[in-house]
Amino acid sequence: MAISIDNITNQSSKISNLVNIAIKNDKKLIENLENKKKELDSKINVINNIKNLTSSLKSIISQFVYNFDIFESKKVLLSRNDVLEAKVTSKAVESEFEIEVLSLANKHIISSSDFTDSSNIIVSSIGSGVKNFSVRINDTLLNLSVELNENNSDYEILQKINKIINTDEKISKYLTSSIINKGNNTYVLIIESKKTGINNRIRFEGDSSLLSALGITDSNLNIMKNLQEPENLLLRIYGVEVVREKNIVEDIIEGITFDIKKTGKVNIKVFEDSNELVAKLKEFVTSYNKLQTAIGKYIYEEKNQTNNSKGVLYSDPSFKIMRMKLKEIISNKIGNFSLVDLGFKYCDSKNYSKEENFNIEFNEEKFISFLKNNKLELKELLVSNNGIFTKLYTFLNDSLSNKGLLESYLTTTQKSIENFNKKISNSQKLINQKISYYQALYSTLSNRASSLKEEGSKLISILSNVFSTKLF
């Protein structure tokens, strides 16, 4: 039997092909694993989108569940906005009346005499050392101590007093001050009460020496320069005079806050305003429809030609159940009414896609008509203990909780992704091991084939010499 060295070499070549085939099959396995992982990544994105839409809907509903004022919203109309501004809450009663502002509340403002930055009249008049005086605001006594040096200018003394007033923790609660440059190096100290009203008049007590030298009081502590007398706010409402210490008042008429700007008369009308409630209900409809449409899309959207009615969530019944539960809750009837009576209705499925056939519509005109005669029934229907929005808020909150549908689904899917990552990593290690093994085998066989080929060539040469030699 003839032996061909080339057959051995060909066997080595076949081994090399087998290595490539083995790697190709393993890579195909990894490719399949990565494709499945991509599907799970897509699901993560989908669930996060549903989670965001669920959170948004929950936030909108919370404005009804935790803010009953929205059902009693009021609005105020003023004949003059320059005299006063007004804000109303749900506690305000529908009414029309006139307010006359007779005087505004003012702060007490006083000043010192004029001084220059080079004069030293004060020290020359009363000498150096620590000078004390007191200020009484209402029933609070404030004590000030100022240290005067022989070389202090009048302007420097004004600066010392100004700093004490504005930086002392107690004094700065009741007084504020500033130094005004009148020009030509002339300065004046301005002191004012922080609060308005007659009771916040500035009164001085104690030693009058420094105050007199400053020109703020005379020797009897009478103020010399009143730039503005303290005044109370004086209003006339329904013919009744009302006095307050502030220009912003909220305790005159329940539910109304007045911000007084100047004197004058203003006609005021308080009336019910359903615009905010209608706007919030429209926000609810938009948010609800976005969530239902998104879930429907991810269940029924077209993926490809061979799977033309199944979305990424088609095989998971949890989201079909969630979609049905949302519809079930808003279809509830509380007492004699349902959302249909408020102007809500489901979209006609003939005119909408399969993804949108759980959506709802809102008829504003019908709602306004219902609201006029059924305000209590509206609150009962939406936000009572068994109300539609109350139940809907609870369901959405549970879905978003750590053990709820969305978070549980995200956790489970993320674990599956981690498992696929491990499988992909392990498969890649096996490929690398196979490559190393087959490369070593191929190298050994190749070396043996080369060696055999070399030995064969020698043998053929010997045999050739033998047969070519004449024996006889």
User: What is the distance between the alpha carbons of residues 358 and 380, in angstroms, rounded to a whole number?
Assistant: 24
Structure tokens at 211: 């105050």
DSSP letter assigned to residue 262: S
What is the torsion angle, in degrees rounded to the nearest 10, for the CA atoms of residue 235, residue 241, residue 246 and residue 249?
A: -80
Is residue 124 within a helix (H) or strand (E), and if so which, with residue range?
Answer: helix 121-126
The top-scoring range by mean pLDDT among 42-46, 312-316, 385-389, 422-426 is: 385-389
Residue 327: count other Cβ atoms within 10 Å of its Cβ.
Answer: 16
Q: What percent of the chain has pLDDT over 90?
A: 57
CA-to-CA separations, 87 to 100, 107, 239, 254, in angstroms, rounded: 17, 24, 22, 11
Chain mean pLDDT for the chain = 87
Residue 359 or residue 191, greater confidence: 191
Q: Name, in order, each residue with C-beta under 8 angstroms of 136's C-beta and a sequence gap of 6 or more.
A: 142, 203, 204, 205
pLDDT in tens, 98-111: 999 999 999 999 99
pTM over 0.85: no
The per-residue pLDDT for range 95-141, each reduced to its tens digit, is 999 999 999 999 999 999 999 989 999 999 999 999 999 999 999 99
How many residues in the chain?
Answer: 472
Where in 356-395 does DSSP place strands (E)?
360-362
DSSP string, 193-227: ESS-SGGG-EEEES--HHHHHHTSB-TT--BS-EE
Of 78, 121, 90, 420, whose CA–CA distance to 261 is shortest? Answer: 78
The answer to whether residues 367 and 280 touch, using CB atoms and an 8 Å cutoff, is no
What is the mean predicted confidence (pLDDT) over 417-431?
83
What is the rounded distance in angstroms from the CA atom of residue 177 to the CA atom of residue 397?
Answer: 54
Where are the chain's structural domains?
12-68+276-413, 75-103+233-273, 109-228
Instruction: Tell me the pLDDT tens digit for each residue of 55-92.
Output: 999 999 999 998 888 888 899 999 999 999 999 988 89
Q: Please report the pLDDT score of residue 309 as a whole number.
A: 57
Task: Give the whole-angstrom CA distance, residue 59 versus residue 10.
Answer: 73
- Count Cβ atoms below 10 Å from residue 459 Cβ, excluding itself: 11
Torsion over CA: 53, 54, 57, 63 (sign): negative
Q: For residues 304, 310, 313 and 318, what is the CA-based torsion angle, rounded to 10 degrees?
A: 180
- Mapped onto helix, strand or coil, the DSSP state of residue 142 is strand
Contacts of 419 (CB under 8 A, 6+ apart): none
Residue 363 CA to residue 282 CA, distance in Å, equals: 10
Q: Which residues pair with 456 in a beta bridge?
A: none
Say which residue, 109 or 17, is predicted with more confidence: 109
- Rounded distance between C-alpha atoms, residue 98 and residue 187, angstroms: 46
Burial profile 103-138: b = 16 or more Cβ within 10 angstroms, e = fewer: ebbbbbbbbbeebeeebbbbbeebeeeebebebebe
What are the tokens at 197? Answer: 């009203």
Number of Cβ atoms within 10 Å of the Cβ of 253? 22
